[in-house]
Amino acid sequence: MKTIIEPFKIKAVEPIRFTTKEERTTLLKKAGYNPFSIHADDVLIDLLTDSGTSAMSSEQWAGIMLGDESYAGSKSFYKFDSAVKKITGLKNVIPTHQGRASEKILFTVLGGKGKYFCSNTHFDTTRANVEYSGAEAVDFMTEVGKHPEMKADFKGNMDTEALESFIKKTGAENIPLVLMTVTNNSGGGQPVSMQNIKDARKICDKYGIPFFLDACRFAENAYFIKRREKGYENKSPLEIAQEMFSYVDGCTMSAKKDAFANIGGFLAMNDDNIAMLCRNLLIVTEGFTTYGGLAGRDLEAIAQGLVEILDEHYLEYRIRCVEYLGEKLVNNNVPILEPPGGHAIYLDAIRFAPHIPQYQFPGQSIVCELYLEGGIRACEIGSVMFGKDLPDGTHISPAMELVRMAIPRRVYTQSHFDYMIEVIIDVYNQRKNLRGMKITEEAPMLRHFTAKFDYVD
Ligand X SMILES: *Cc1c(COP(=O)(O)O)cnc(C)c1O
According to DSSP, the residues that pair with 214 across neighbouring strands are: 181, 252
The helix/strand/coil state of 31 is coil
CB nearer to ligand X: pick between 60 and 126: 126
Query: What DSSP character marks residue 191?
Result: -
Establish whether the linkage from the previous residue to 142 is cis, with ω within 30° of 0: no
Q: At what angle do helices 362-374 and 21-30 cross, to 10 degrees?
A: 140
Q: What one-character-per-residue DSSP string does 379-398 give?
A: EEESHHHH-EE-TTSPEEPP
The helix/strand/coil state of 358 is helix
How far apart are the C-alpha atoms of 290 and 84, rounded to whole Å? 13
Q: At what angle do helices 58-66 and 296-308 cross, to 10 degrees?
A: 150
CB nearer to ligand X: pick between 33 and 260: 260
Residue 364: CB minimum distance to ligand X, A: 20
Establish whether the linkage from the previous residue to 183 is cis, with ω within 30° of 0: yes
Residue 1: Cβ within 10 Å count: 3
Residue 108: CB minimum distance to ligand X, A: 15
Residue 309: CB minimum distance to ligand X, A: 14
CB nearer to ligand X: pick between 6 and 136: 136
As a residue count, the chain comes to 457
Residue 254: CB minimum distance to ligand X, A: 3
Residue 100: CB minimum distance to ligand X, A: 3
Residue 51: CB minimum distance to ligand X, A: 5
Sign of CA dihedral 142, 146, 147, 153: positive
CB nearer to ligand X: pick between 117 and 359: 117
Helices and strands (H and E) in the chain: how many? 16, 16
Residue 103: CB minimum distance to ligand X, A: 7
How far apart are the C-alpha atoms of 344 and 323, rounded to whole Å? 9
CA nearest neighbour of 55 among 19, 93, 7: 7
| Residue of closest CB approach to ligand X | 99
Residue 405: CB minimum distance to ligand X, A: 15
CB nearer to ligand X: pick between 99 and 293: 99
CB nearer to ligand X: pick between 216 and 240: 216
CB nearer to ligand X: pick between 216 and 294: 216
CB nearer to ligand X: pick between 362 and 382: 382
The answer to whether residues 189 and 341 touch, using CB atoms and an 8 Å cutoff, is: yes
Residue 212: CB minimum distance to ligand X, A: 11
How far apart are the C-alpha atoms of 132 and 108, rounded to whole Å? 9
Residues 6 or more apart whose CB falls under 8 angstroms from that of 121 comprise: 139, 141, 156, 181, 184, 185, 186, 187
Residues that bind ligand X (CB under 6 A): 51, 98-100, 123, 125-126, 181, 185, 214, 216, 254, 256-257, 265
CA nearest neighbour of 255 among 303, 191, 314: 303
Q: At what angle do helices 194-207 and 237-246 cross, to 10 degrees?
A: 20
CB nearer to ligand X: pick between 204 and 216: 216
CB nearer to ligand X: pick between 346 and 428: 346
Residue 379: CB minimum distance to ligand X, A: 12
